[in-house]
Amino acid sequence: MEQYDVSVWNVAGLNNELVARTNNPLERFNRELNDRFPKPRPSMATFVGVIKTLSAEYIQRLADVPRGRARRPTRERIQLPVPVDLPDDILDDSDDDAPAVIELPSDSSSDEEDGEAEQEL
């Protein structure tokens, strides 16, 4: 099996907006909300104003989708430092064709009772 150097897969040193992004919508909203406040502990008036503005923007975005006015934001393409060649046989590197089944111990007493009842029959 071929091994790759850390510099190939580690994106910590890349200065790119996409690297700092997250796929989790809740995390993204949290980051967007925090970016809107001028200081860590805003006044209630500032907080309400930011929430009103943010909600109006989301409502407008939702309304624009069916009208065809909303578009996917363009993002900078990431250029990795070293191209990676994957071997052709990577599609199937398993030893056998049987699916892997992992049985986990049950933490529920009702499962154990059901198993005992089946054994008695």
Give me the pLDDT at residue 104, please.
61
pTM score of the predicted model:
0.39
Residue of higher predicted confidence among 27 and 86: 27
Question: Residues 6-43: pLDDT tens digits?
Answer: 777 776 666 665 555 556 777 888 888 888 988 888 89
Residue 48's pLDDT is 92
The three-state (H, E, C) secondary structure of the chain, written as one string: CCCCCHHHHCCCCCCCCCCCCCCCHHHHHHHHHHHHCCCCCCCHHHHHHHHHHHHHHHHHHHHHHHHCCCCCCCCCCCCCCCCCCCCHHHHCCCCCCCCCCCCCCCCCHHHHHHHHHHHHC
The structural domains of the chain, with segments of one domain joined by +, span 6-89
pLDDT average, residue stretch 104-116: 53
Q: Residues 56-82: pLDDT tens digits? A: 998 888 888 777 776 666 777 877 777
